[in-house]
Amino acid sequence: MTLDSKFFILNNMDQKSVAEAVEQICDEKGIPLESVIETIEAALAAAYRKDFGEKNQNIKVEFDLNTGKSKVFDVKTVVEDVPEEELEEKEEKSTPIETPVKKEGKKEELKNKDEETKEGEGEEEKKRFNPKTDIQLSDAQKVKKSYKIGDIIKTELEIPGDFGRMAAQTAKQVIIQKLRETEREALYDEFKNKEGEIIVGTVQRREGRLVLVDLGRLTALLPPEEQIDSEDYNPGSHLKVYILSVTTTTKGPEVIVSRSHPEIVKKLFGLEIPEVANGAVQIKSVAREAGSRSKIAVWTDQENIDPIGSCIGQRGARIQTIISELKGEKVDIIKYSDDSAEFIANALSPAKIINIKINEDGRTATATVVEEQLSLAIGKAGQNVRLAAKLTGWKIDIVSENSRKPAENVDKEKEEEPTDKENQEKVSSEEETKKTEIKTKKEKKSTEDNSLAKADESQVDTTVKKEKPKKRGRPKKTQAEKEKNEE
């Protein structure tokens, strides 16, 4: 049965089936029955006041759900008698407030008067008389002498014959609006209490980059920034989502869910691991790069419990369930420690840390590793050290064990290297020595040529060939030149 058909039954207020219709609405929409009855009574009172009521009547309606009948009352509260002079003065004071004020000066005067009257508001509120909701003691005693101040008088009013039809038609829209508002409030309260928790949803459809997730009583939104790039959100697939925020809109509560929030890992550990659920193992911090890798720091104060082993489970059964829920995302479980150096060393695992230097003022740490472990400590595209920094809250620098030695050797080489001036001096000295060697060689050759000139031409030719190596590249002297030299 649809909502419109149920309201068609409510139109005929004399039918007993209205009780069944209201109960069905309450069951399907999760609305309290008392709230629906109050809404119907308020709607009927508004309808009666509009068509049959008078100016100073305080209309209240009592609706009987079982019979479908209603009673209309004018409800008044007995107050002290108010002199007619005060009533006239109040009427005069109320008239300028009703008229529109055009000038700013008059507005300021009215504000000043309001401020002056606020001082005695507490006493005046008790003495104020509202003819719609109040009745003077003298007038009440005319009806019944036993009435006293503070009593509530209910005067039953006659219900015209057309009220059953006209009232229902007028009240229909009001009832629909009130019920929808009540339903929205109930939905908002329900999911507001679940904010920060994990709930199972079904992918309904895609609208551009936005994914709509069916949570049962409403449809949640999974925006692009809360999605994981490696996941495929196919319609009909089930997944666990983290309720990020719940806000109210004109169309009802709007629920934003997330698949990339770090808290979803923490909540999954609480669901899958009993030691985390009962508080025996505490999760200190979580660092996550959604879809790729997460690091989670665990700790326990009980000596007989291994926090890492309890999270992994027998043959990795527990952690594999969480990984499969995260669609294959890697999860590193780290042991938390109050010692910052130890905690940072654990956070950089699987790399083995040799030494850690900590600067408390700037919250920076320098971790030293062997050359073979450097790439492992940094991780792919710096992922390992980045997650470790998020997990610990420290700025971490990674250096290799041999990174300082090459720097020292470079310094020594720089000290041993000669300067430009020394190089120039060395070059010039070498050139001078070469020149002197060449000069001496020339002198030797000239003496040898003089001694051999007296020998035969054949002997001269052989000695010249032996004494003049090919590497000098000098041309052979002719016989004429030799004779010239001898002369």
Domain containing 37 — which CATH number?
3.30.1480.10
Domain boundary among 158, 173, 192: 192
**Helix 163-193 and helix 33-51, axial crossing angle in degrees, nearest 10:** 140
Residues 162 and 56 in one domain: yes
Does 263 fall in a domain? no
Residues 16 and 159 in one domain: yes
Burial class of residue 303 (count of CB atoms within 10 Å of its CB; 0-12, 13-18, 19+): exposed
Residue 258 in contact with residue 241, Cβ under 8 Å? yes
Question: What pLDDT, on a 0 to 100 scale, did the predictor assign at position 184?
Answer: 86
Residues 63 and 148 in one domain: yes
Distance CA 327, CA 232 (A): 10
Look up the CATH number of the domain holding residue 376: 3.30.300.20
Does 117 fall in a domain? no
Residues 62 and 206 in one domain: no
Residues 162 and 180 in one domain: yes
Residues 186 and 205 in one domain: no
Residues 231 and 357 in one domain: no
Cα torsion at 99, 102, 104, 107 (round to 10°)? 10
Does 34 fall in a domain? yes
Residues 463 and 412 in one domain: no
Residue 370 in contact with residue 400, Cβ under 8 Å? yes
Question: What pLDDT, on a 0 to 100 scale, did the predictor assign at position 258?
Answer: 95
Residues 227 and 345 in one domain: no
Question: What pLDDT, on a 0 to 100 scale, did the predictor assign at position 123?
Answer: 45
Residues 18 and 82 in one domain: yes
- How many domains in the chain? 4
Question: What pLDDT, on a 0 to 100 scale, did the predictor assign at position 465?
Answer: 44
The domain in which residue 74 lies consists of 1-91+126-192
Question: What pLDDT, on a 0 to 100 scale, did the predictor assign at position 79?
Answer: 84
Does 386 fall in a domain? yes
Distance CA 166, CA 74 (A): 20
Residues 188 and 201 in one domain: no
Domain boundary among 377, 399, 417: 417
Nearest Cα to 351, choosing from 269, 295, 303?
A: 295
How far apart, in Å, are the Cα atoms of 394 and each of 347, 361, 380? 11, 11, 20
Does 186 fall in a domain? yes
Residues 64 and 187 in one domain: yes
pLDDT tens-place string over residues 23-35: 777 777 667 778 7
Distance CA 20, CA 37 (A): 13
Does 329 fall in a domain? no
Does 145 fall in a domain? yes
Does 307 fall in a domain? no
Low-confidence ranges of the chain (pLDDT < 70): 1-19, 21-22, 29-30, 68, 84-127, 164-175, 403-435, 439, 441-487
Cα torsion at 131, 89, 92, 110 (round to 10°)? -110
Question: What pLDDT, on a 0 to 100 scale, did the predictor assign at position 424?
Answer: 56
